[in-house]
Structure 1
Amino acid sequence: MIRPSRFENAIQKLYTAFHNNTLNPECCKQCAVGNILDNTDSWKHLSDQHGSTQLNYVGRVHQTLGRRFNGYTPLELLNIEAVFLKACGFQIPLHHKNSKPENPTDSDVLFNGLEAVVMHLCALDGVENVMDYTAMFKLKIPLPNKGQHLYSTCHS
């Protein structure tokens, strides 16, 4: 299956950030969107609060003009970041009074965020979920004396 280049680039950047410990939900340059946009924080000017899905004036202008940042519209970027922050356990938009995970850079917290973002990116581009591991657990079990096969899927 051919995947859009924006999707492939975003997945690669997020994967690299996760494995290099440079994924940080509280930093505009190291969060999901910050990494997708090459560790820049210019995207934060599209909204008034980190984690908000509401475009501000600048964001609406860019959205209306059809601007794309590494392939993504301003609204898509804000939604990607919101998905990431929620999956990491943050109450959005980020604010010192809102709840957040005890250790935001814990690898389990970050993996939850990464998994949610990858699923969201797949949905945006109509790509089969690359994080779906259920196919790995499908077993082809031969039935005795029948020449048929029983397909089984592991369910929890």
Structure 2
Amino acid sequence: MKSTKRLDLAITKLYTAFHNGTLNPECCKSCAVGNICDNLDSWKHLSDFHGSVELNYVGKINEMFGRRINGYSPSELLQIEAIFLSACGYQIPFGPRSKKPNNPTDKELQFNGLSAVVAFLCELDSVDNSMDYSRLFQYQNNEPLYKLSSIAGFDIIEASNVY
């Protein structure tokens, strides 16, 4: 099964953020959706609460007009973020008194979040998750075990003896 452009771009951005240490669930520019949206925070105005899947007035208007950010609708972006936060151990919607992990930049925690996000992204694009993109986020000694070699179809993972 062939991948989609928006899926390939999202995976590339998440891979880069994860391995560069720039993924942070508590920052709207550095979370899963923040990275998918090119580290811009405009997406946060689609909902009133971080991690909520409920569109606010601005979100509903953007959804109604068919607005997309890097291929994703406002409701899809909110779902992606909710899945990421939940899989990272956050109580959503996330607020000052919400349950949260002790170390939001823990690689294991982020790996769990990204694995759930990748599964959802594949589901959105009707792409079989048997491609196992989660290998992209495996690491050892804070270095990726696999690198992104090409983002065409299934041949995107290659052993990382170069790192």
Do 1:48 and 1:56's aligned partners in 2 also have CA atoms closer than 8 Å? yes
Equivalent in the alignment of 2:132: 131
Structure 2, gaps ≥5 residues long: 135-163
Q: CA deviation at 1:4?
A: 1.0
Q: CA deviation at 1:62?
A: 0.4
Seen in structure 2, the aligned counterparts of structure 1 residues 22 and 132 have a Cα distance that, compared at 3 Å, is: closer
TM-score (norm 1): 0.83
Equivalent in the alignment of 1:8: 8
CA distance in 2, matches of 1:38, 1:66: 19
Equivalent in the alignment of 1:90: 90
Superposition CA RMSD, Å: 1.1
Q: Deviations over 1:93-139 (max 9, x none)?
A: 11111101111110000000010000000000011113278xxxxxx
Report SS of the residue matched to 1:118: helix
CA distance in 1, matches of 2:118, 2:132: 7
Structure 1 stretches of 4+ with a deviation exceeding 6 A read: none
Equivalent in the alignment of 1:109: 109
CA distance in 2, matches of 1:82, 1:65: 23
Letter in 2 for 1:104: P
Do 1:115 and 1:131's aligned partners in 2 also have CA atoms closer than 8 Å? no
Q: Which has the higher contact order (CA 8 A, sep 6+)?
A: 2
Report SS of the residue matched to 2:52: coil
CA distance in 2, matches of 1:4, 1:132: 14
Q: CA deviation at 1:2?
A: 2.0
CA distance in 2, matches of 1:51, 1:98: 11
Percent identity over paired residues: 63
